[in-house]
Structure 1
Amino acid sequence: MTDLVSILDGNTFLVSDRRGDIEPSFDFPTGLFSFDTRFLSTWLLTLDGERLHALSIDQAESYSTRFFLAPGEPTHYLDAKVSVIRSRAIGGSFREELTVLNHLREPVEFMVRLDVGADFADIFEIKAARQKKGRTTATVSGNELRLVYRRDAFHRETVISTSEPGEIDVAGMTFRIRIEGHGEWTTRLHVVTVVYGARGEDIRATLPYGGSRDAAAIEAEQNELIARAPKLGCDCQPLAGAYRRSLNDLAALRYESIALGVRLLAAGLPWFMTLFGRDSIFTSLQVLPFLPELIPPTIQILGGLQGHRVDDFRDEEPGKILHELRYGETAGFEEQPHSPYYGSADSTPLFVILLDEYERWTGDSQLVRLLESRARAALDWIDTYGDLLGTGYIWYQTRNPRTGLPNQCWKDSLDSISYADGRLPGFPRATCELQGYAYDAKIRGARLARTFWNDPAYADRLEREAAELKQRFNHDFWIPEKEYYALALDADGRQVDALSSNIGHLLWSGIVDESRAGRIAEHLLGPRLFSGWGVRTLADDQGRYNPIGYHVGTVWPFDNSIIAWGLWRYGYREEAGRISDAILAASRFFDGRLPEAFAGYNRDLTDYPVRYPTACSPQAWSTGTPLLLLRVMLGLEPQGDHLIIDPAVPEGMGRIELLDIPGRWGKVDALGRSRTPTNHRP
C-alpha cells in the first residue's frame, strides 16, 4: 500500500503505482473501480519504449493527483532531457492530462505509448484470483477505444478517448509527436465507465451524483460539508492535522447506492467501497457529534434492508441487520452471497445502539418512531436467532459453510478468536463484546420503548433482561485467576481465555461490573496490550500474537477509539487520555490519515508506528477515530436538551476548543485545557 497512489470520488476510485501506472494484478486491487468492478486493469505509459520514474507526486486532494516523471533510472534524473507530467482527476469518470516537456533547445521526436486494458474483474475475483466467465471485446472508432464485457444480462463498458490524434488499437494508443525546443505536447484522456441495468440503461446516469463531475464541483461539495462541521482550535498539531484530514476523507468516502439512490459512507479503500453494517454503524457513532445529518440515510437503509426470512446462502434471518452489500458480477450471479450478505452477529444490536444515540444527540424522535418495528425486530433477533444455543448469549456460526464468513464479529479473520495457548475453538462461538452490545441494545431499547413507543411493559422487560444478562455474563466470562473477561465462550461453554482488546468494548457497553472495571483498565494500559502507540488487538504473551497479524497483535485506531470511550464511561479519564494521546501521536507518521491498522511493536523499539502492508486507507472508522477521541477528551455527553462538557485533556496537549457543536441544543462551544500546555510530543 505504501507504494500505491489512490484517488477517489464516492462511487469511483483509482489505485496506481507511484508512476501513475496500472498493471494487471490479482495480488492487490490496482486499477480503476466503480461499483465493485475493475474497469481499467492496464494503464501503462512509456516514452520511446522506456518506463518512467517518479520525481515527485502531488497528492493534496483526494480526487486528484499529479505525477512528475522522467525516463531512465533514478541516477539519471539530473541528465533528463525530457520530463512528463500526468495530471489526473476523478469525478464519476476519470480524466488524465498527459504533458511531455522537451528541455533541449532543438526539436525532438518522441513515441508516447499508453497500453490500455480492462479485465472487468469483480472485487471478489481479485481476492480469489478467479477467471472471468463472460466475454470481453474491444473496438476502435476514431480517437475512441471501447472495451465491452458481457455475461448474459451483466453488461459493463469502458470507453477511452483522447483529445489529440493518435494510432488507436485494441490494446492502447500510440502518439508519434515532435516537440520544438523547450516546448511541450499535451493530450487529454477521458475514461468513462458504464454500468448497464436490466433494461439496458446506464444506471449511473440516473443517480444525482452519478454523472461526470469536474474538480471544482467536487471541491465545492466537500468544502460545503467541511464548513458544516464544528471548528477546531488547538495547540496540538497532530490533533489539528488529523481532524482536518478526517473531515476531508469523510467527504470523499461518501458514495451513492445504485439501488437506493442515497449518499452513504463507504467502509474504506480499496477493498470496502460499499455499505457495511458494522463499519457504517461505528463510523456513524464516531461522526454523530460533528455531522449528525450524515447519519439518517445509513440508519434508514440498514433498517430497510433488514433480514425478513431465513436464507442460508446469505446468512439472513428475520430481524438481522446486513453485514455487506455488493453490486458486482459475483453477487449478481449468486457466486457470492453479498446481495446483501448478513454474516455479522454484531450489526444487529449495534443498529439499536445507533438509533438511540442518534436521538439522544439530535432529538429526532420522528426517525425513532418511523423505525420502531425495525428496532423491535432487531431486539427480537438477539433473543431468538442470535441465541443459537438457548443460553441467553449471542452466538455465531455461518449457515453457508462454502462462502459464508466463519468469524462474524469485528475480528473476522480466521485466526482472530483463540485460546491463550493459540488453539482455535470450534463453532458456534460467543465472543465477549457481542454480549456487551446486546446488553447496551436492551438498555437503550428500553428507553426508546418507554419514551417514544408508549410501551412501558416492553421497556420493563428489556431492562429486566439486561440486568439478568449482566449478572450472568460477569459470572460466565470472568476468569478469576487471570482477572479479565474471556475473549469468548466455545460451544461447550468453556472460556476462550486469550487476553484481547475486546475487553475495552465491554467497558463501552456498560456490562462490566463496577468492581472489575479498574482491573480491566490496568490490563488495557498494561505492557502486554498497550504498545505505546495504542492498544493491541491481542496481548503480546498470547499463543497467536503477531505484531503484524491482522487481528492478532496489530493496533486498530477504531478499536482504540471505542476503548477510550469505554474508559471514559467508567471514569478512567487519564487512561482514556493516554490512548487518545498515543493514537494522535501515531497519526503524524501517516500524514494525519490513520490507516485501518498498524503494527503492534513497542513504541520504544521502533520510535514510529510501522505500517501494516495491506491496510485500507482511507478507512471510514479509522477516519472517524480522531472525532471520537475529541468527544472523549472534551467529555461531551448529551443529557436531555443539554450537552454536558466535562473535559479531561491529556497532559502536554494544551488547549482544545471546539466551536459550534450541533445537536438538539442548537450549537454550543467546548473548551478544554491540559494541566501543562506545552508542545505536544511527537
Structure 2
Amino acid sequence: MGDPVRNVVSLKAGNGQAGANLWSEYDIEPQGSLVDRPLRTLKHGDGFAVLDSFGDIGTVPDTAEGVFYRDTRFLSRFEFRIEGARPLLLSSAAHEDKSALTVDLTNPDIVLPGGEKLPRDTIFIERTAFLWDGMFHQRFGLRNFGRSARRIRLDFLYGADFRDLFEVRGTKRKRRGRESAACHAPDRAEIRYRGLDGLDRVTVVTIDPAPEQIAADRAMLHVTLAPGERRSVVVAVGCGSEKVALAPPGAADFFLSYRDTRRARRASTADIATVTTSHDVFDEVLCRAVSDIYTLATRGPLGLYPYAGIPWFSTVFGRDGIITAMLMLWIDPKIAKGVLKVLAATQATEADPKSDAQPGKILHELRQGEMANLGEVPFGRYYGTVDATPLFLMLAGMYLDRTGDRETVSALWPNIEAALRWLDQSGDMDGDGFVEYRRETESGLANQGWKDSHDAIFHADGSDATGPIALCEVQGYAYAGRLAAAKIARTLGFAELAGRLAEQAERLRRNFESTFWCEEIGTYALALDGAKRPCRVRASNAGHLLFTGICDPERAARVARLLMGGGSFSGWGIRTLATGEARFNPMSYHNGSVWPHDNALVALGFARYGLKQEAARVLAGLFDAAAHQELRRLPELFCGFERRPHRGPTAYPVACAPQAWASASLFGVLAASLGLEFDHAADEIRLNEPVLPGFLEGVTIRNLALGETRMDIRLTRHGGDVGTNVLRRTGPARIVVMK
C-alpha cells in the first residue's frame, strides 16, 4: 500500500526510485489524522462508513469521515440536531459483532420557542446505524423522561461531495464532474453527480416519517412526546448508481435489514475455531480482532476476501489478502480459499506497462473510483507488487497442507504454473536467479515490496538503492513458493516437475546465502540494487526469511538475536528498521515503526527455527500494545519509540484501523507460540514445543478442525512447561504434542 504521508508528484526520473528528499505521489496528507479524536467505522460489501463518536459525519472539515461506496464518498455530511443544538453524548460503541453502531444521546439545556425551557437529560435518544447492501441505515429512538409533553424539532443536515477516495486522501484534481440535487418527493432528497468517467452516481436520502420541510441539504420535522412516550425516526441513505432503490425504506425495512446483518455475521463465523484464555483483556483483544476481520471480509461470487483496511484500503489488495489468509489459516481456511480464487481470477494474462502487469503476475490493488477509471491513478487493476506472486504460491501450498483440498488446488494449477513462469521470466529481469522489481512507468509505485514507501529501500550511508531491486524477503518467498508448488505438483501426479522445482529452490537457497549474508552487520542484506550491491541495513525484512525456511539455522539464530535486541525490539514489537540506521525514524511509515503483521511473520519464523520463547515475547509485546488501544484494536502500525513505563505506544497519525493483517497478526503469533501445525496427509494436529507467555496461564481452543475432525483443547502453563488436554474430539485426526 502507498506511503501515507503527503501528496506531491515530483519524482526522480530514470532509476525507478523516488529521491530521498521527495515524497511519494500517492501519500496521504498528514493533516488527515485518524487519531486526533475517536472515530467509528462500519462496513458491508463494497461500502464503508467513518463516523465520529456521535454518529455524525463532517462536523470537522477535511477528514476521512463519510459513507463510501466503491472508492467514492457518497455522503460527506450528516449531522443530527435537536432544536438546532448538537445533543450531548452519553456513550458510543460498536456492537460486539461489529454489525452496527449504537450512540446514546440526550438533549442539552434548550430554550424552546415561546420561552419554555427544556432541561438537559429530558429526552433520551438512542441512535443506531449500520450498512447493508449499499444503504446507510439510521434509527433515532426518542423517549421523553420528563413529566410533561414535549414538542421538539429535529434537524438533519446532509451533503454529498462525491469525492474520489484518492481526493479524500489528499490528491488534487484539475477537473471534476457535475453535481445536481432535487427533491422529487416529500420524504426524499436526491443528490447526483455525473463523473468525468461518464458514470452517474446518486445519493438518496429518505426519512420516515416524512419531514415537514426537506431540501437538497437539510430536512426538519417535529416530534411530540407524551411523558414516557417513545417515538422513532428512520433515515436511509442509498449510495450507488441509478439502480439505487428510490422507494422510502421505512421502519420495517430498517429492522429487516438489521436482522439480515446479524444473520450474515453469525453465518460467516459459525464454523471457525474460537479462542478463550485465562486473561480477560486478552480475550477482549481477540474478540475485537475476530470482529474486525469478519467486518473486512467481503463475500463475492468466489468466496470471502479480507479487504485490507478502513478507510484508505477498503478493497482487494493481493499481498494483504494473502498474508491475512496465512495468519488466519488455522482459524478459518475458507478465507484462504476465497483469496486464492479471487487472485487467480484477476491474475495478469498479458503485459501492460501502465499497470505494471506481466503474464502470471498476481494483483496488487483493485480500485473502482472515478480517478482509477480515468487513469488519473494507475490502480484500477494494478500489479505493481513483486511479492504477491510468490506469496500466492506459498498460500496455495499452505492451504493444501491445512485442508487437503485437492479439488481447489487442481483448479488453481494453471494459475500456479503461470505464477512460476513469472518468477522465472519477468520476475527475474537479469537472469541471475533472483526476483527483482522496477516500475515500468513514472506513475507506478517506486518500491514494490511490502515496504512500498518511496524511502524504504536504501544503502547503509542513506543513499537510494537504484533499480532493479531484489528484496531479501522476496527471495525467501520465491524459495518457499517453489517448494509449495513442488508439493502440489507431487500431489497432482507431476513427479518430474516436482523434482525440478525442488532442485531450483535449493539452488536459490545456496545462491541466496552466499550473496545476501552480511557478516559485518550479522544479518541478511535488505536488498541488492541494480548493480548487485547489497544494502547493508538491519531491517525486519530479514525476519521474514525465517518464516520461509530459506535460512541456515545458525544464521537464523543470529537474525533472531538481532531482531529481539534493543536496537530492533521496542518493547511493543520489532521495528521495521533498527536504531542507528541512516534513515531510522520511529515516526516514519516503514523506517522505524512497528507493524503487527510484520511481527507476526517474524514470530512464525522464530517458531519454525524452534525459537518459541522469542515468539512468546513478541506475543506479549503486541498484546500489551493492543491493550492500550481504544476498542482493544491493533492498528495498521504505530510508532517505534522505546517502551516507557505507564504509557502506551505512540500512535501513527494516519494508520488504518481496523486493518485486516494487523487484526490477524495476533492469531499468527499465538499459533507460533503454541507451535501449532497441521498435516492433513498424516491426519495430525501438532503442538511443537508449545510455550505460553507469562501473562497467560491457559488457552482453550474450540472447534479446531482438520478434515472431518473437530476438537476442543486446553493448554495450561505449569512453570516453564505447557500441558495439553483434549476436551472433546469427533473424527479420526490425532493431536500430537512434541516436546
The corresponding residue for 2:729 is none
- 2:441 aligned to which of 394, 397, 400: 400
The corresponding residue for 1:268 is 309
Q: TM-score, normalised by structure 1?
A: 0.91
CA distance in 1, matches of 2:266, 2:223: 40
Relative to 1, partners in 2 of residues 1:585 and 1:121: Cα closer, same or farther, differing over 3 Å?
A: same
1:545-574 CA deviation, whole Å, 9 max, x = no partner?
222211112211111111110000011111
CA distance in 2, matches of 1:181, 1:459: 78
- The reply to whether residue 59 of structure 1 matches residue 94 of structure 2 is yes
The corresponding residue for 2:27 is none
The corresponding residue for 1:627 is 667
Relative to 1, partners in 2 of residues 1:187 and 1:201: Cα closer, same or farther, differing over 3 Å?
A: closer
Equivalent position amino acid for 2:92 in 1: I
The corresponding residue for 1:6 is 41
- 1:570 aligned to which of 593, 602, 609: 609
- How many residues matched? 662
Deviation at 1:660, TM superposition (A): 2.6
With 101-110 and 574-583 compared, the bigger mean Cα shift is at 101-110
CA distance in 2, matches of 1:139, 1:562: 53
CA distance in 1, matches of 2:227, 2:286: 47
8 Å CA contact 2:302–2:341 kept in 1: the answer is no
8 Å CA contact 1:138–1:148 kept in 2: the answer is yes
8 Å CA contact 2:616–2:693 kept in 1: the answer is yes
CA distance in 2, matches of 1:368, 1:183: 60
- 2:716 aligned to which of 668, 673, 676: 673
Relative to 1, partners in 2 of residues 1:432 and 1:177: Cα closer, same or farther, differing over 3 Å?
A: same
Unaligned runs of 5+ in 1: 203-210
8 Å CA contact 2:639–2:649 kept in 1: the answer is yes
- 1:232 aligned to which of 275, 283, 303: 275
Deviation at 1:173, TM superposition (A): 0.9
CA distance in 2, matches of 1:305, 1:383: 20
- The reply to whether residue 537 of structure 1 matches residue 576 of structure 2 is yes
The corresponding residue for 2:233 is 187
CA distance in 2, matches of 1:511, 1:465: 13
CA distance in 2, matches of 1:589, 1:509: 32
The corresponding residue for 2:155 is 113
8 Å CA contact 2:80–2:156 kept in 1: the answer is yes
The corresponding residue for 2:349 is 308
CA distance in 2, matches of 1:649, 1:132: 57
- The reply to whether residue 159 of structure 1 matches residue 204 of structure 2 is yes
8 Å CA contact 1:655–1:677 kept in 2: the answer is no
CA distance in 2, matches of 1:97, 1:481: 64
CA distance in 1, matches of 2:712, 2:221: 59
Equivalent position amino acid for 1:333 in 2: L
Look up the SS of the partner of 1:564 in the other structure.
Answer: helix
> Structure 1: which 4+ aligned runs deviate by more than 6 Å?
none
CA distance in 1, matches of 2:645, 2:697: 27
* Matches for 1:471-550 after TM superposition, within 5 Å: 471-550=510-589
Identity %: 33
With 660-669 and 388-397 compared, the bigger mean Cα shift is at 660-669
The corresponding residue for 1:345 is 386
Deviation at 1:410, TM superposition (A): 0.6
* Matches for 1:27-426 after TM superposition, within 5 Å: 27-61=62-96, 62-70=98-106, 84-92=125-133, 93-99=135-141, 105-106=147-148, 108-127=150-169, 128-130=171-173, 133-140=176-183, 141-151=185-195, 153-164=198-209, 165-177=211-223, 179=225, 186-195=232-241, 214-257=257-300, 262-402=303-443, 404-426=444-466
8 Å CA contact 1:279–1:620 kept in 2: the answer is yes
8 Å CA contact 2:320–2:660 kept in 1: the answer is yes
CA distance in 1, matches of 2:639, 2:339: 31
Give the aligned CA root-mean-square deviation in angstroms: 2.7
1:360-401 CA deviation, whole Å, 9 max, x = no partner?
110011112111111011111112111123322111111121
8 Å CA contact 1:645–1:670 kept in 2: the answer is no
Relative to 1, partners in 2 of residues 1:341 and 1:55: Cα closer, same or farther, differing over 3 Å?
A: same
8 Å CA contact 2:99–2:265 kept in 1: the answer is no
CA distance in 2, matches of 1:212, 1:543: 57
Q: TM-score, normalised by structure 2?
A: 0.84
Look up the SS of the partner of 1:648 in the other structure.
Answer: coil
CA distance in 2, matches of 1:251, 1:173: 35
Deviation at 1:314, TM superposition (A): 0.9
Equivalent position amino acid for 2:103 in 1: F
Deviation at 1:142, TM superposition (A): 1.4
8 Å CA contact 1:121–1:132 kept in 2: the answer is no
Unaligned runs of 5+ in 2: 1-33, 110-117, 246-253, 722-739
Equivalent position amino acid for 2:55 in 1: G
Equivalent position amino acid for 2:506 in 1: A
CA distance in 2, matches of 1:188, 1:79: 24
The corresponding residue for 2:4 is none
- 1:643 aligned to which of 685, 696, 718: 685
- 2:639 aligned to which of 599, 606, 612: 599
The corresponding residue for 2:16 is none
With 631-640 and 599-608 compared, the bigger mean Cα shift is at 599-608
CA distance in 2, matches of 1:233, 1:605: 28
Deviation at 1:408, TM superposition (A): 0.6
With 440-449 and 423-432 compared, the bigger mean Cα shift is at 423-432
8 Å CA contact 1:24–1:41 kept in 2: the answer is no
8 Å CA contact 1:102–1:181 kept in 2: the answer is yes
CA distance in 1, matches of 2:412, 2:720: 46
Deviation at 1:131, TM superposition (A): 6.1
CA distance in 2, matches of 1:586, 1:161: 42
CA distance in 2, matches of 1:116, 1:83: 23
The corresponding residue for 1:207 is none
Relative to 1, partners in 2 of residues 1:606 and 1:482: Cα closer, same or farther, differing over 3 Å?
A: farther
The corresponding residue for 1:661 is 704
8 Å CA contact 1:651–1:676 kept in 2: the answer is no
Equivalent position amino acid for 1:415 in 2: D
1:6-55 CA deviation, whole Å, 9 max, x = no partner?
12223222112222221188844210112212110111233333334423
Equivalent position amino acid for 1:56 in 2: S
The corresponding residue for 1:439 is 479
CA distance in 2, matches of 1:201, 1:315: 35
Deviation at 1:239, TM superposition (A): 3.4
8 Å CA contact 1:143–1:162 kept in 2: the answer is yes
With 492-501 and 599-608 compared, the bigger mean Cα shift is at 599-608
Deviation at 1:113, TM superposition (A): 2.2
Deviation at 1:520, TM superposition (A): 0.5
8 Å CA contact 2:274–2:331 kept in 1: the answer is no
Relative to 1, partners in 2 of residues 1:483 and 1:212: Cα closer, same or farther, differing over 3 Å?
A: farther
CA distance in 2, matches of 1:405, 1:414: 8
Relative to 1, partners in 2 of residues 1:605 and 1:232: Cα closer, same or farther, differing over 3 Å?
A: closer
Equivalent position amino acid for 2:719 in 1: T
Look up the SS of the partner of 2:590 in the other structure.
Answer: coil
CA distance in 1, matches of 2:514, 2:293: 41
With 221-230 and 266-275 compared, the bigger mean Cα shift is at 221-230
